[in-house]
C-alpha cells in the first residue's frame, strides 16, 4: 500500500484546530500515516508568506505537530511562497525563506510540502528558477521528506488556460535537475481525476524521474461550483495496483471534516481488498464506522441528492425535508454522528459556500 494520508489543501473555510487533532487520532486508528496542514485560507502560508509568522499560529502548529506524533502519524505543512520565482532569488528573499524554514524546523515537520501550484507559469525560466529554490530549501529543511508541487501538476489543459502556456520541457527538466530526494505532487490526467491507472502513473514516473506523490482531489468540494455538492460516494478508480507506482497518496478532503472520513475509509478498503473491493459495501461499512447504522442508511438514501443534484437543484421544500430527516441525529450521544448530521444541515443552509471572490483571493 502507498504511504496514505490527508492533505488539508482546499479553498474556503478551513478546519478548526480541534477538528485537525481529531482527524489525526482518526487517521492513526484506521491505519493512515500522515496529516499535512495546507489550507489555502492561511495567508501566512501563502500570499502573506513574506510577513512575520504569528506567534499564535506557530504555537497552534507546534501543538498539532505534537498531537500527530503522539498519535503515531507524521505531521506535515504545505508552504506556498506565492510567486517567489517571479523575482530574483537574492539575499533578501533567501532571508525571508530561511525564516519560514526555521519556523517549520522548530515546529517539527516530517513532510514539508513546498507548493507552487495555482500561480503564474508561462515563463521560459520557470523550471530553472523553481529548481534553484527547491534545492536550496531541501538543503536547509530538517523535514524527513520534501514534496514539491509544480505549477503544472497535471496533464489537464485547464492549467494552461488559467496560468499560461507550460514552458517546453518543464516537467522533464524538473525530473532531471531536482535533488533526487525531492518528491513531486501529481493530481493525474486531470486536476480532479476520476481514476488512476498503473500505466499512467508509470509513464508519469518516467516523465518526472521519480514516482509521483499523488494529490488526490476527491472528495474535495471547494470552489464556487463544487461547494454545492457533498462528495460522499465511495472511492472508485483507485485500484490497489497503483500502489507500487506511488511514493505517497494524499487525499484532499471536503470542507466537512467528519463526512470526509467516509471516503477516506473506502479508499483504505480499496487498497486492502484489491479485486474483492465492493464500493457499495465499502460505503455502508465506512459510513457506519464514522457515524451509526441509522445515519449511514440515511446518507446512502440521499447520495443522489448530495452528489448529482446539489444545492442548486434542491428546492426549498426538499431542503427543509432533508434538514428534518437529519435533525434527530444532532442529539446523538455518539459525537461523530452528531457532527456528521450538523455538517449536512449546515451544507443545506449554504454555510459552506465558497464565492468566486473568495476563491480568487486565497
Residue-wise pLDDT for 52-65, tens only, equals 999 999 999 999 99
pLDDT at 268 over 80: yes
Residues written for the chain: 362
In which residue are the cell numbers 509568522 written? 53
Averaged pLDDT for residues 306-326? 97
Dihedral pair phi/psi, residue 112, rounded to 5°:
-105, 105
Segment 257-285 shows an average pLDDT of 98
For the segment 234-240, the average pLDDT, to the nearest whole number, is 97
Q: Please count the other Cβ atoms lying within 10 Å of the Cβ belonging to residue 297.
A: 14
Question: Is residue 49 scored above 70 in pLDDT?
Answer: yes
Give the pLDDT confidence score for residue 361 in this predicted structure.
67
- Sign of the Cα torsion 54, 60, 63, 65 reads negative
Over range 36-40, report the average pLDDT. Answer: 97
CB 242 within 8 A of CB 197: yes
What cell numbers appear for 166 in the block? 507550460
CB 98 within 8 A of CB 130: no
Q: What confidence category does residue 362 fall into, taking pLDDT thresholds of 50, 70 and 90?
A: low
Dist. CA 169–CA 154, nearest whole Å: 14
Give the Å distances, CA to CA, from 291 to 96, 267, 334, 338. 45, 17, 8, 8
Per-residue confidence band for 354, with pLDDT thresholds at 50, 70 and 90: confident
| pLDDT given for residue 355 in this prediction | 75
- What value does the mean pLDDT take over residues 326-330? 97
Percent of the chain residues past pLDDT 70, beyond the cut: 98
pLDDT for residue 357 = 64
Confirm if 42 and 81 have CB atoms less than 8 A apart.
no
pLDDT digits (tens, 9 = 90+) for 10-19: 998 899 999 9
Average pLDDT, the chain: 96
Task: Name the band, by pLDDT with cuts 50, 70 and 90, for residue 256.
Answer: very high
Q: What does the block give as the cell for 11?
A: 479553498
- Is the pLDDT reported for residue 29 higher than 70? yes
More confident residue, 353 or 166: 166
State the Cα–Cα distance between residues 177 and 342, nearest whole angstrom: 48
Domains and CATH numbers, the chain: 4-281 (3.20.20.80), 293-356 (no CATH)
Dihedral in degrees, nearest 10, Cα atoms 116, 62, 145, 85: 20
Position 359 pLDDT exceeds 80 = no
Amino acid at each position: 500500500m502507498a504511504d496514505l494520508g490527508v492533505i488539508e489543501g482546499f479553498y474556503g473555510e478551513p478546519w478548526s484546530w480541534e477538528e485537525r487533532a481529531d482527524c489525526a487520532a482518526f487517521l492513526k486508528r484506521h491505519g493512515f500515516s500522515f496529516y499535512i496542514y495546507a489550507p489555502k485560507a492561511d495567508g501566512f502560508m501563502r500570499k502573506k508568506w513574506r510577513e512575520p509568522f504569528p506567534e499564535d499560529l506557530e504555537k497552534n502548529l507546534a501543538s498539532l505537530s505534537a498531537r500527530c506524533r503522539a498519535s503515531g502519524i507524521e505531521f506535515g505543512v504545505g508552504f506556498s511562497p506565492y510567486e517567489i520565482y517571479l523575482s530574483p532569488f537574492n539575499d533578501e528573499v533567501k532571508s525571508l525563506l530561511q525564516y519560514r524554514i526555521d519556523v517549520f524546523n522548530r515546529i517539527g515537520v516530517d513532510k514539508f510540502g513546498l507548493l507552487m501550484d495555482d500561480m503564474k507559469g508561462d515563463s521560459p525560466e520557470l523550471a530553472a528558477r523553481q529548481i534553484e529554490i527547491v534545492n536550496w530549501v531541501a538543503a536547509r529543511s530538517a523535514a524527513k521528506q520534501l514534496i514539491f508541487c509544480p505549477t503544472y501538476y497535471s496533464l489537464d489543459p485547464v492549467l494552461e488556460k488559467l496560468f499560461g502556456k507550460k514552458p517546453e520541457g518543464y516537467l522533464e527538466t524538473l525530473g532531471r535537475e531536482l535533488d533526487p530526494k525531492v518528491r513531486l505532487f501529481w493530481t493525474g490526467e486531470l486536476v480532479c481525476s476520476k481514476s488512476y491507472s498503473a500505466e499512467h502513473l508509470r509513464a508519469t514516473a518516467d516523465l518526472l524521474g521519480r514516482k509521483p506523490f499523488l494529490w488526490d482531489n476527491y472528495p474535495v468540494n471547494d470552489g464556487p461550483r463544487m461547494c454545492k455538492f457533498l462528495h460522499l460516494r465511495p472511492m472508485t478508480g483507485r485500484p490497489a495496483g497503483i500502489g507500487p507506482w506511488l511514493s505517497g497518496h494524499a487525499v484532499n478532503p471536503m470542507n466537512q471534516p467528519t463526512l470526509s472520513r467516509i471516503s477516506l475509509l473506502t479508499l483504505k478498503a480499496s487498497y486492502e481488498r484489491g479485486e474483492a473491493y465492493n464500493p457499495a459495501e465499502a460505503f455502508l461499512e465506512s459510513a457506519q464506522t464514522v457515524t451509526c447504522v441509522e445515519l449511514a442508511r440515511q446518507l446512502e438514501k440521499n447520495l443522489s441528492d448530495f452528489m448529482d443534484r446539489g444545492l442548486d437543484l434542491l428546492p426549498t421544500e426538499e431542503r427543509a425535508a432533508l434538514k428534518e430527516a437529519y435533525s434527530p441525529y444532532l442529539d446523538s450521544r455518539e459525537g461523530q454522528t452528531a457532527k456528521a448530521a450538523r455538517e449536512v444541515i449546515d451544507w443545506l443552509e449554504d454555510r459552506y459556500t465558497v464565492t468566486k471572490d473568495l476563491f480568487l483571493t486565497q
